[in-house]
Amino acid sequence: MLEFEDINDELTKKIDEKCKPGLMPVASIRVIPSNCVMPREFKPYAERLMNFEVREDDVWVISYPKCGTTWTQELVWLLGNNFDYDTAKQKLQLQRFPFLEAVSIINQNDLIHENGTLFGDTISFVQEMPSPRFIKSHLPVQLLPKDIFVKKPKIIYVTREPKDAAVSYYHHHRLWNGYEGSFDDFMKAFLEDKVVYSPFWSHVNNYKKLAKTMPNVLINSYEDMQLNLPEVIKKTAKFLEKPINDKQLKKLTNHLSFDSMKNNPAINGEEFIKDVIVKYDMPRDDPELTFIRKGIMGSWKKEMSPELVKKFDEWAEINGVEDDDQENKVNV
């Protein structure tokens, strides 16, 4: 049985007050077991998600938010769909590779767009998709559908250096939550596990543990994708049992480049972002208010103070775990 604890501390209230009402909900409950922080809107959908019917030929991409999920989704979808670039450029990724629990964390008004390209109940949408289904989630291990551990579909988990993930999540909140509070307050909330989908470290560590005992789980890292994308593509193709030749590898690498991803309207969400900026009167000339923002490693170096970096490093030293499995090594 799931239990829900309200979060009423002053920092959480402060973050909430600095977000625009009507945009994405913010942290308000903690889900037991898992201690995962979620919006109150998650409660009516939690049991449906845990009882979601999984298929053996599903392919799941899972991560803590802002760790390279969209990038990995595009890689995996093209490997699984015979490099169908035409569809990848014409059909929205969120329809090809839907976000399972979106209905439970996004305001319904923001799931339905005037051109009909978004959908309301993402759980039902995924249920009705033909196989093989490609499914995105940010759920921690304890809140995954129970059927995952019976059917054992392919799961690719993506992780990222936590300081970069935190900075990216801050800018994500500025865009999708209209957050106008301070950078330091948000970083404090991140470190104290008071933002949606936290705690960060248990999220990462529990998937790393799964990968050690379940061959259907692969760990990739954002850093490896940045440093040697072709090798990550080949590693993922092998895991998915999808052959890829040198010509296909080169074309896929180019398609997954930052400029290509940022300029692909099926991925970048620019039309929806324009609507959000107008609807909620947000700054129109802020280059940081984009879904695909910078796509680099180490951006935290320009945004974090030395004191904040020290706090993150101490936090990582306490909470991170060593992974001796070199095949599934995670760069965090």
β-bridge pairing 59-63 and 134-137 = parallel
Tokens read off for 192 = 């104290």
- Confirm whether 172 is a catalytic residue: no
Burial of 147 (0-12, 13-18, 19+ CB in 10 A): middle
3-class DSSP state for residue 62?
Answer: strand
Tell me the HSE value of 139 on the side-chain side, using a 13 A CA sphere: 26
Distance CA 249, CA 232 (A): 11
The catalytic residue among 113, 138, 203, 255 is: 138
Burial of 232 (0-12, 13-18, 19+ CB in 10 A): buried
**Closest by alpha carbon to 319, among 143, 191, 142, 209?**
191
Distance CA 231, CA 184 (A): 37
**Closest by alpha carbon to 139, among 126, 311, 161?**
126
List of E strands, the chain: 3-6, 29-32, 36-38, 59-63, 134-137, 154-159, 217-221
CA angle 223, 194, 197 (to 5 degrees): 50
Q: Which residues are catalytic?
A: 138
